[in-house]
Amino acid sequence: MKNKPFSMQVNLDDFIPASPEDKEYLSKMRPSSTFFKDGVKRLLKNKVAATSAFFIIVITISSILIPFFWPYEYEEMLGVTQGGFVDSSYSNLKPFEYGETEQQKIENGEKVFPHIFGTDNHGRDYFIRVVYGTRISLAVGFFASIIVLLLGVTIGSVAGYFGEKIDLIIMRIVDIIYSLPDMLVIILLSVVLKQTLNLEGTFLQAIGGNIISMLIVFGLLYWVSMSRLIRGQILSLREQEYILSAKANGAKASRIIRKHLIPNCISVVIISTCLQIPNAIFTESFLSFMGLGVNAPMPSLGSLASDALNGIYSYPHRLVIPAIVICLIVLSLNLFGDGLRDAFDPKLKH
Amino acid sequence: MHNKSPLIEVKNLKKYFDINVGMFRSKPLKAVDGVSFSINKGETLGLVGESGCGKTTVGRTILHLYTPTDGEIWYNGKQIKNKTDIREFRKKATMVFQDPYSSLDPRMTVSDIIGEPLDINKMYSSKKERRERILELMNHVGLNSEHASRYAHEFSGGQRQRIGIARSLAVNPDFIVCDEPVSALDVSIQAQVINMFEDLQQKLGLTYLFIAHDLLVVRHISDRIAVMYLGKIVELADAAEIYERPLHPYSKALLSAVPVPDPKLARTNNRIMLSGDIPSPLNAPSGCPFRTRCEYATEQCALEPPEFKQVSKGHFVACHKVEEINS
CB-CB neighbors (< 8 A) of B145 in chain A: none
Count of CB atoms situated within 10 Å of the CB of A243 = 22
On the CB side of A331, how many CA atoms lie within 13 Å of its CA? 9
The residues, ordered by sequence, that sit 6+ positions from A44 with a Cβ below 8 Å of its Cβ are A50
Nearest to A89 by CA among A105, A78, A81: A78
Contact A189, A216 (CB under 8 A): yes
Chain centre distance of CA A111: 39
CB-CB neighbors (< 8 A) of A264 in chain B: 105-107
d(CA B317, CA B296): 15
pLDDT at position A106 over 90: no
Mean pLDDT of the A167-176 span: 90
Nearest to B211 by CA among B178, B244, B254: B178
Nearest chain B residue to A265, by CA: B107
| Residue of B107, B150, B159 to mutate, testing the A interface (most A Cβ within 10 Å of its Cβ) | B107
CB-CB neighbors (< 8 A) of B149 in chain A: 32
Is A164 within 8 Å of chain B by CB?
Answer: no
Give the domains, in start order, of chain A with CATH numbers.
Answer: 77-123 (no CATH), 128-348 (1.10.3720.10)
Using 50, 70 and 90 to split pLDDT, how confident is the model at A57? very high
Q: How far does A166 lie from chain B, in Å, by closest CA?
A: 18
Contact A133, A300 (CB under 8 A): yes
Contact B56, B209 (CB under 8 A): no
Count of CB atoms situated within 10 Å of the CB of A45 = 12
Instruction: Determine the pLDDT at residue A54.
Output: 92
Q: Do A249 and B117 touch (CB under 8 A)?
A: yes
Contact A221, A189 (CB under 8 A): no
Strand partners, B21: B25
Count of CB atoms situated within 10 Å of the CB of A54 = 12
Mean pLDDT of the A202-218 span: 70
Q: Kindly list the distances between the CA atom of residue B32 and the CA atoms of A161, A312, B180, B195, B227, in Å, as whole numbers in the listed order.
A: 25, 78, 17, 30, 13
Q: Do A251 and B120 touch (CB under 8 A)?
A: yes
Using 50, 70 and 90 to split pLDDT, how confident is the model at A58? very high
Q: What are residue B108's phi and psi, to 5 degrees?
A: -115, 150
Instruction: Determine the pLDDT at residue B1.
Output: 44
Q: Do B104 and A242 touch (CB under 8 A)?
A: yes
Nearest to A72 by CA among A123, A36, A28: A123
DSSP class of residue B149 equals G
Instruction: Determine the pLDDT at residue B2.
Output: 47
Is A96 within 8 Å of chain B by CB?
Answer: no
d(CA B139, CA B148): 11
For the four alpha carbons of A89, A91, A95 and A96, in that order, the dihedral sign comes to positive
Contact A82, A68 (CB under 8 A): no
* Helices and strands of chain A, counted as H and E runs: 14, 0
When CB atoms are compared, the residue of B99, B120, B171 closest to A241 is B99
Instruction: Determine the pLDDT at residue A206.
Output: 62
Is B165 within 8 Å of chain A by CB?
Answer: no
The residues, ordered by sequence, that sit 6+ positions from A311 with a Cβ below 8 Å of its Cβ are A92, A121, A318
Nearest chain A residue to B110, by CA: A32
- Write the single-letter amino acid at A43: L
| Residue of B96, B120, B171 to mutate, testing the A interface (most A Cβ within 10 Å of its Cβ) | B120
- Write the single-letter amino acid at A317: H
ipTM score over 0.95, yes or no: no
Is B18 within 8 Å of chain A by CB?
Answer: no
Instruction: Determine the pLDDT at residue A14.
Output: 78
Using 50, 70 and 90 to split pLDDT, how confident is the model at A262? confident
Q: How far does B121 lie from chain A, in Å, by closest CA?
A: 8
Q: What are residue B95's phi and psi, to 5 degrees?
A: -140, 145
Nearest to A233 by CA among A261, A258, A201: A261
Contact B21, B62 (CB under 8 A): no
H-type alpha helices, A163-264 = 164-179, 182-196, 209-237, 241-248, 253-255, 262-264
Q: Residues A76, A80, A81, CA angle at the centre, nearest 5°?
A: 105
Averaged pLDDT of chain A: 81
Contact B319, B307 (CB under 8 A): no
When CB atoms are compared, the residue of B107, B154, B164 closest to A264 is B107
Considering only residues B16 and A35, tell me which one the structure prediction assigns the higher pLDDT. B16
Helix (H, G, I), strand (E, B) or coil at B305: coil
Which residue stretches of chain B have pLDDT < 50? 1-2
CB-CB neighbors (< 8 A) of A246 in chain B: 116, 120
pTM as predicted: 0.76
Instruction: Determine the pLDDT at residue A172.
Output: 92
Size of interface A-B (CB pairs under 8 A): 67
Instruction: Determine the pLDDT at residue A61.
Output: 93
Q: How far does B106 lie from chain A, in Å, by closest CA?
A: 8
- Burial (CB < 10 A; 0-12, 13-18, 19+), residue A336, is buried
- Burial (CB < 10 A; 0-12, 13-18, 19+), residue A79, is buried
Output B19-22 pairs: Cβ under 8 A, ≥24 positions apart.
Answer: B19/B282, B21/B282
The residues, ordered by sequence, that sit 6+ positions from B128 with a Cβ below 8 Å of its Cβ are none
Q: How far does B67 lie from chain A, in Å, by closest CA?
A: 12
Helix (H, G, I), strand (E, B) or coil at B307: coil
| Residue of B56, B98, B105 to mutate, testing the A interface (most A Cβ within 10 Å of its Cβ) | B105
d(CA A252, CA B196): 31
Q: How far does B68 lie from chain A, in Å, by closest CA?
A: 15
Is B154 within 8 Å of chain A by CB?
Answer: yes
Question: Residues 46-65, chain A: which have Cβ within 8 Å of B?
Answer: none
